[in-house]
Amino acid sequence: MTQPPSRPTDARAWLGLLVVLGPVLLVSMDGSILFLAMPRIGRALEPSAGQALWILDVYGFAVGSLLIAFGNIGDRYGRLRLLVTGAVLFGVGSAAAAFAPTPELLIGARAAMGIAGATLLPSALAVLSELFDDPRRRARAVGVFAAAFAAGFAIGPVVGGVLLERFWWGSVFLVNLPVIALFLSFAPGLLREVRANRPGRVDPVSVVTSALGLLLAIYGLKHAAAEGMTAAAVLAGAAGMGVLTWFGVRQRHLEHPLIDFSLFRDRVFTVAVVTGLLPLAAWSATAYLAGLYLQSVLDVPVLRAALLALPGAGVLTVTCILTPALVDRIGRRTALLVCHSSIATGLLLLLPASATGGTGWYIASTATAGVGYGISFAVVADTAVGAVPPERAGSAGAIAETSNELGNALGIALLGSLAALLFRLQGPDLAPTLDATLRLPGLAGTTAADAKSAFVTGMRVVAAVAAVLHLALGLVALRWLPRPTGEEPGAHVRTKTATA
């Protein structure tokens, strides 16, 4: 009996994975690529302190608040169709961002890119289930997918720094266009449509209120940090919290809620989701502040700043790849304890950095914390999905992925606002940001030194606060998570394929 050849199918599957990884890298990379570009953008567009934070994190808010909604929409109308539409919108948003003449237009373009990114991630992961029907091969493919996503976050600042050494700040967005063009050229031939018979419909009111509530609450916080407790800050913050509260109440009465809050009754699931959020919050905030620290405080050239980020990026990526095998040996509980303790240690290594030197402390910090960040990328979805019944695995996986994106945005919003507040209170109070202060004509040397010192104080406080939160979460994980004796070898393969 003649067996049908399998080589063409294998080739199509792995080429399809390669094509899918392009948009995945872009979505994650664009969450961090601006960290080293902000000083250049600040000089070119002169955004206010609040606008600078929005330029950075409106992208993450758009991705995080719409991931679950677009996951459901893709199931109903087709993942490949949504993937192609999202890729086109991502390319258009990237081109608009590259040539934005004002901070407001750049914020709008970044928001459009975030909406597109929310269509790409869940659709790309679902398409893998059609490419790889064998569970083991699918697990390997999803592992590559997760590693690429982690690598995108890690190498974003490096890519940005290399581009900025030769080109203007808009190049960090134009680099997306060739990848999008290649994806649109090859995707129709290598990928096939995927639909799922998921019951119910997407509740548009829930989508709007979740995004609106987050934006209002964070706007109020940023406004208060940059300009004090004004009436606008208080009203926006209160309105945002009210909308989010109403959103939560509404989910309890929907047959098919956008977020199933009942999943949080499980302690293991809750620890997993918070582990998805907090490390990304710490990483995004400290990476952004460290980028400003290297360039604006220590006067490190942008290319050298990018090279200084390489050790941490390498450690993070390698750890993400190796963690699934390590978890099989030591269990998720121990892995999560290592995750939080290494991140806390790495963050504390930023404390000796000063306004006169600290690149060695920065490298040690990012390399040490990179171990924990890599573990969090690799085990959060596994732990969350493994904590719930199989029929609720889809909802659990979606919430876990959303926690990553919201963590990336909330880190800059909350911890970045804390740094902005400390700079306003301790700095010379001549301008709302460090770069704006240093650009003032006729600035005295002592005043510039005071401004740099105030910025470094804010960065240290942010690192210390994030470290304490990680130590606290590590203690919670130690108390709440079951001991590894009951874990099944290879559990990560089972749970990862469930999310696909």
- At residue 491 the predicted structure's pLDDT band, cuts being 50, 70 and 90, is very low
Which of 156, 434, 165 is closest to 298 using CA atoms? Answer: 434
CA atoms within 13 A of residue 26's CA, in its CB half-sphere: 34
Q: For residue 486, what are its two tokens?
A: 């009951």
- At residue 395 the predicted structure's pLDDT band, cuts being 50, 70 and 90, is low
Q: Record the pTM.
A: 0.74
The domain segmentation of the chain, as residue ranges, is 12-190+258-499, 203-257
d(CA 402, CA 156): 20
**What are phi and psi for residue 429, nearest 5 degrees?**
60, 40
Q: For residue 268, what are its two tokens?
A: 């293991």
- The DSSP code for 100 is -
- At residue 109 the predicted structure's pLDDT band, cuts being 50, 70 and 90, is very high
CA atoms within 13 A of residue 228's CA, in its CB half-sphere: 3
pLDDT at 71: 67
Domain 12-190+258-499 fold = Growth Hormone; Chain: A; (1.20.1250)
- The DSSP code for 415 is I
- The chain-wide mean pLDDT, for the chain, equals 80
Contact 386, 48 (CB under 8 A): no
For residue 293, CA distances in Å to 39, 112, 384 come to 10, 29, 36
pLDDT at 8: 39
pLDDT at 497: 36
Contact 419, 289 (CB under 8 A): yes
Q: For residue 422, what are its two tokens?
A: 């400390």
Q: Per-residue pLDDT for 204 more than 60?
A: yes
Choose between 404 and 182: higher pLDDT: 182
- The DSSP code for 353 is -
Q: Per-residue pLDDT for 499 more than 60?
A: no
Q: Per-residue pLDDT for 267 more than 80?
A: yes
